[in-house]
Structure 1
Amino acid sequence: MRLVIVFCMLFLAVCESRKLSRCEVVRLFKAQGLDGFEGFSLGNYVCMAYWETKWKTHKVRDSDNIGKDYGIFQINSYKWCNDGTVGGKNLCKVFCGDLLNEDLKASIECAKKIVKQEGLKSWETWDKYCDGTKMKRWTEDCD
């Protein structure tokens, strides 16, 4: 029964989501405290989210490891959220379907926990495409 509820929640979340523009992402991330969070400029988060999903709030994909990856940050269900994955840890204490919402609140709160514990290097895309590059281009003209 739990699995049916999770799938229904995922279906509803997908129906409510869309691809955000760069400036929408900048404004949402800034409003929810990512600018300077753990010493990283806002551009780092915008860049990483771009390379993870092209700013699509509804993206779900099978993980390279265990479980699935959810939302704009592609947060993994085995370690960070609950989608019924056997042995899942749910360290963010959130249903994975909540990570698909357009308001990004659950995604950002979970991403903050990940960054506090593991840093942005937890995302291979940040390490590969964002680290050491000019971050200003990701946020300019979005004020």
Structure 2
Amino acid sequence: PPHLLTDFLIFICLSSALGRCQLAQLLQELDGYRGYSLADWLCMAFYESNFDTAAKSVNADGSTSFGIFQINNRLWCTDERSPSENLCRVACTDLLTSDITDDIICAKKIVRHPQGMDAWEDWAMHCKERDLSEWVEGCDV
């Protein structure tokens, strides 16, 4: 039925997920940032949020992570539910929009800390010390 196609197209338009190459273009300036490749960033974003800019998840410790990089409200952003050091000086809800500029700025701050990308458990588990070349394949970056 024709309405199924319309519903599908509306869903695509409302989707908050970025494509891998679309994200690669946005993150291009991070290639080599603090020793991490563009592929590291793509792999991390995939395993953290499946490239979903509106991702929000509650963690085992009761904290909440927000956005494409799953930035945690315990340290990095502030929300109405819990006190935070808010090291990124950003509202957690701002990390849920399709404009990921503030997410990138905050993620760069996180990477500057001693843990680096190990701050993201999913990156450490799925991406660290692996051949990640497939993440940028065909993306023209």
The interval holding the TM-score normalised by the smaller chain is 0.7 to 0.9
Aligned residue in 2 for 1:127: 124
Q: State the distance in 2 between where 1:101 and 1:40 align.
A: 25
Q: CA deviation at 1:17?
A: 6.0
The percent of aligned pairs where both chains have the same amino acid is 40
Equivalent positions of 1:28-47 (< 5 A) are 28-30=26-28, 33-47=29-43
Off by >6 Å, runs of 4+ in structure 1: none
TM-score with structure 2 length normalisation?
A: 0.85
Q: CA deviation at 1:135?
A: 1.6
Q: CA deviation at 1:133?
A: 1.1
Residue in structure 2 matching 1:54, options 50, 61, 79: 50
Give the structure with higher Rg (CA). Answer: 2
Aligned residue in 2 for 1:18: 16
- Over aligned residue pairs, what C-alpha RMSD do you find? 1.6
SS class of match (1:61): strand
TM-score with structure 1 length normalisation?
A: 0.83
SS class of match (1:37): coil
Aligned residue in 1 for 2:4: none
C-alpha contact 1:77 1:90 (8 A) present in aligned 2: yes
SS class of match (1:58): coil
| Structure 1 gaps, min length 5 | 1-15
Aligned residue in 2 for 1:87: 83
